[in-house]
Amino acid sequence: MPSAPLRFLESWIQAFLGFIVCIVLPILVYAQAVPFADGSIGVAERTIIATALAYFVVAYCGSRLEAFPGASLMDQAAYIAPIVTICFATIGVGLLAWRLEYSRVQFFGSGFLVFAWVLGAAHLRVRLFTRSYAVVPAPSLATMPSVKSCRWLDFDDAVARSVRLDGIVADLSNGLSERELSELARAAISGMPVLDRRYIVESLTGRTPLSGLSPNDFGALLPSRQYVGFRRVVELVCTVAALPLLLPFMLVAYLGGVEIGDGVAINRKVAITTRSVADLASRYTKITDADMASILGASSTIIAPYSATPLAVTVSQVMVDSKGNATVTWSDANSNGSPRPSISPSSAPGLSGSNSPRSRAARASRSVSSN
């Protein structure tokens, strides 16, 4: 039985657009220079490569959702979220283990974009495209719910006409003939999805078929006690066994979230500190050494609660004359920063001036202009 032909155009368009949205757009936002321009692999280039690798893995795994007809948005999210988390966490752990620097904000921010893109694309495929499924045995065909995105076909008719299918929906609780079992086995080996009818009906209608229940001695339909007990034991064993495996990934995801939060908060604090220092300096018509010391010292208070030890602050005044020539009239910095040197016309066209880097020390006061 032939499977449905791969929708190459649909898949390539989705992969290309996803690459633009999840990989290229963050580069325009976060990159400070053109990546790969000089042929070297730096922090930005390493982050782009890692993000692209994770994206293609997640996109491939997300394409497997095509086999499930009518999957709800929550079902798709429950399937895609662990894939995104595991892929990005694994690559992040690898970069950390090899001590390779990368942009955490760009990496994990792109991870969120990848999750949103793959989830949205999978949901749109379910809504917009019609899939063909063969139903076995024949009596189950009449009980399949009517869904616009699914076309139910008789299994024997599909085999006889060699119809290309997206999957097979089988009711394994009913007795199947040897030929039907053979065809199901052949389809599974060839890679065609073979889906349980009870799960498909429940996901499409929200109702559980009564075939999943067994009658007791009193004639009532109740779940088998042996089945319920066995299921609880299996769930407990799987939970205990999966905990050591999932705990590292959950820890990495948590630490990644903390890193992103700290990065955003620090970036915000640096922007506030920059604006505050510039605003304080521009309020003076004349500024002295003591005034500048107070302004530069205020930066340590503004950046709190983060450490001011690596903080480098440089304040400069640039005067522009009527001809458009710019001159650095004075510059000052804290202990970590470096005052900007004067730039003469010989070193940069359009600039004039001959002040030393420490011109402030040669003056008792300076004029501050709005220019």
Alpha-carbon gap, residue 276 to 280, rounded angstroms: 6
Q: Do 100 and 149 lie in a common domain? A: no
Alpha-carbon gap, residue 60 to 11, rounded angstroms: 10
Domain membership of residue 248 (yes or no) is no
Radius of gyration (Cα) for the chain, nearest Å?
Answer: 32
φ, ψ for residue 3 (rounded to 5)? -90, 165
φ, ψ for residue 209 (rounded to 5)? -60, 145
Q: Domains in the chain: how many in total?
A: 3
Q: Do 137 and 120 lie in a common domain? A: no
Domain membership of residue 321 (yes or no) is yes
Q: Do 66 and 121 lie in a common domain? A: yes
Q: Do 72 and 149 lie in a common domain? A: no
Strand order in the sheet with 131-136: 150-154, 131-136, 167-170, 194-196
For residue 53, what pLDDT is reported?
A: 92
318 close to 326: Cβ distance less than 8 angstroms: yes
Domain membership of residue 277 (yes or no) is no
Segments forming the whole domain that contains residue 50: 8-128
Q: Do 146 and 102 lie in a common domain? A: no
Domain membership of residue 262 (yes or no) is no
Beta strands 326-333; 214-215: pairing state: unpaired
**Unique residue bearing structure tokens 């795994």:** 61
* Last residue within a domain, chosen from 95, 128, 161: 128
* Last residue within a domain, chosen from 154, 185, 212: 212
Q: Do 117 and 174 lie in a common domain? A: no
Q: Do 110 and 179 lie in a common domain? A: no
54 close to 10: Cβ distance less than 8 angstroms: no
Q: Do 104 and 69 lie in a common domain? A: yes
Beta strands per DSSP E along the chain: 131-136, 150-154, 167-170, 194-196, 214-215, 221-222, 286-287, 314-320, 326-333, 366-367
For residue 32, what pLDDT is reported?
A: 73
For residue 65, what pLDDT is reported?
A: 65
Alpha-carbon gap, residue 236 to 242, rounded angstroms: 10
Q: Do 191 and 92 lie in a common domain? A: no
* Last residue within a domain, chosen from 128, 149, 171: 128
DSSP 8-state class, residue 212: G
Q: Is 31 helix (H, G, I), strand (E, B) or coil?
A: coil
Q: Do 116 and 145 lie in a common domain? A: no
Domain membership of residue 207 (yes or no) is yes
- Can you give the length of the chain in residues? 371
Tens digit of pLDDT at every position of the chain (371 positions): 554 444 556 677 888 888 988 888 888 777 777 888 788 888 888 889 999 999 988 888 777 666 666 566 777 787 788 888 898 989 988 888 888 888 888 888 888 889 898 888 877 877 777 788 889 888 888 888 887 778 899 988 888 888 888 788 888 776 788 888 888 888 888 778 888 888 888 777 777 665 555 555 444 445 566 667 777 888 888 888 888 878 888 888 888 888 888 888 888 888 888 888 888 888 888 888 888 888 888 888 888 888 878 888 888 888 888 887 888 888 888 877 778 776 544 444 433 333 333 344 333 334 443 33
